[in-house]
Amino acid sequence: MEKLPRGPARQLALERAERWILERLEDSDGLGAIFPPIVNTIIALHAQGYPFEHPVLSRQVRELERLEIETADTLRVQPCFSPVWDTALAVNALIESGVPAGHAGVARAAGWLLERRGHGAGDWRVKNERAEHSGWYFEYANPFYPDCDTTSQVITSLSKVAPAGRRALRARARGDLRGPLLASDHAEP
């Protein structure tokens, strides 16, 4: 528990910061779904008086523990999971190495990427309230923070999918197509 004096302005600031943190923990794998903010969230909430047994704080500890890689004689902590980034790079590498752009595996990966497109209003909207909600984030669940490099890598990869597959992807993006991408849209040449 923090021991510093709390005047009205400081108390208000701490309450606003706590609310900000709690809002960003919803539908995420920890604040920012990455090591530094998860650790800082644990410290901040504990300093605000949250016991480690509190559901919010214990969930953050679990998210931190998920980042651990333990072997027989070492314990390392990875910074985050990067499935969206990794999948986009893999799609690009497969197509560039000669796998047909209409291959069923490429189509499945492209569909998976499209399903990961963020639709929430993240913190970036502070500077552009009228922008459409979209973009991709690096991790499994980090809806407040889509990022430019992951978004550009996903778009680059999706642009290489076979033309019929791109039509199916656009239809899915508009909400016209549900479920798995149609195999007939990805016939190999």
Q: Which positions are annotated as active-site residues?
A: 149
Which H helix or E strand runs over 115?
helix 104-115
Placement of tokens 């999918």 in the chain: 161
Give the SS3 label for residue 42: helix
**61 CB-near residues (< 8 Å, 6+ apart):** 42, 52
CA distance 38 to 78: 12
Q: Locate 101 and state its tokens.
A: 């752009």
DSSP3 helix / strand / coil % (the chain, rounded to 5): 55, 5, 40
Q: What is the CA radius of gyration of the chain?
A: 21
